[in-house]
Amino acid sequence: MPFYFSAVKFVFISDSHGKHEQLVLPPGDVLVHAGDFTMRGSLPEVSAFFDWFGRQPYRYRVAVAGNHDFLAEREPGIFRQLVPDTVIYLENSAVTIEGIHLWGSPITPWFFDWAFNRQRGADIRRYWDMIPAETDILITHGPPYGILDEVLRDPRPVGCRDLLRQVEEIKPRVHVFGHIHEGYGQLEQNGTLFINASVLDVRYQPVNRAVTVDLQQAGGNTRIVIP
């Protein structure tokens, strides 16, 4: 039996849309934001968010952008200058924290030409093909198809089919996302814990709590610690 290291507590949030100062966050080791930390993606909004995010009392702080965070796509050089050294920003890239492999992406299916929109099919699939097979925690701004992705005005799923296929193949231990505020919640399916971590509801009110998950890693195996 492999020896597991001490559990690492992850705190997941998403879709704060400039209301980060109103959030009450639980203690933990790693704070992860799954995108849409601004409303319009302006420089002042981005600067204010990272000033707050970079000061939060966690050992690690990880963020991806979302479809509202226009500065990250339109002016990537300026955007990255605003990311403090205390924050790990992922854009179709990976990081390993305490032996746990994370990969993050801001990409979402095309919807009214927002930031990081890509057409469904081959255009978006090339990003999901980049996800490493060893990924333990997958962070995407948008949900996979059929999982915590229904909107109130139309009950049909709006998530990405190609993302779902890749998740089913790789089987990350956790897949966290946001984007669809009304999909907030958790679902475990086929060995993956799916988390819609949107902290704002459909009326953009900060009513949803951050989601915490404890993970342990040893010998290439990562498991969720059940309290």
Nearest Cα residue to 37 out of 27, 55, 57, 51: 51
Is residue 203 situated within a structural domain? yes
Residue 226: helix, strand or coil by DSSP?
coil
Q: What DSSP letter does each residue of 143-189 carry, written as one string?
A: PBTTSS-EETTEEEE-SBHHHHHHHHHH--SEEEE-S-GGG-EEEEE
Is residue 66 situated within a structural domain? yes
Residue 97: helix, strand or coil by DSSP?
strand
CATH number of domain containing 210: 3.60.21.10
As given in the structure block, the two tokens for residue 123 are 């255009």
Could you list the mean pLDDT of each consecutive 10-residue stretch along the chain, which spans 227 residues? 76 98 98 98 98 98 98 98 98 97 97 94 98 98 96 86 98 98 96 98 96 87 79
Mean pLDDT of the chain: 95
User: Over the stretch 168-185, which tens digit does the pLDDT of each residue have?
Assistant: 999 999 999 999 999 999
Half-sphere exposure for 122 (CA within 13 Å, toward CB): 0
**The pLDDT of residue 111:** 86
Q: What residues have CB less than 8 Å from 81, skipping those under 6 apart?
A: none
Beta carbons of 105 and 90 less than 8 angstroms apart: yes
**The pLDDT of residue 153:** 78
Range of the domain at 67: 8-224
Q: What is the largest CA-CA distance in the chain?
A: 51
As given in the structure block, the two tokens for residue 81 are 């200058």
User: Over the stretch 126-157, which tens digit does the pLDDT of each residue have?
Assistant: 999 999 999 999 999 999 999 999 888 777 88
Is residue 34 situated within a structural domain? yes
Is residue 112 situated within a structural domain? yes
**Which alpha helices (H) appear in the chain, and where do they start and end?**
43-53, 70-74, 76-82, 122-128, 161-170
Beta carbons of 215 and 5 less than 8 angstroms apart: no
Nearest Cα residue to 209 out of 219, 224, 199: 199
Beta carbons of 210 and 23 less than 8 angstroms apart: yes
Cα–chain-centroid distance for residue 162? 17
**The pLDDT of residue 227:** 60
What is the C-alpha radius of gyration for the chain, rounded to an integer number of angstroms?
Answer: 16
Count structural domains, the chain. Answer: 1
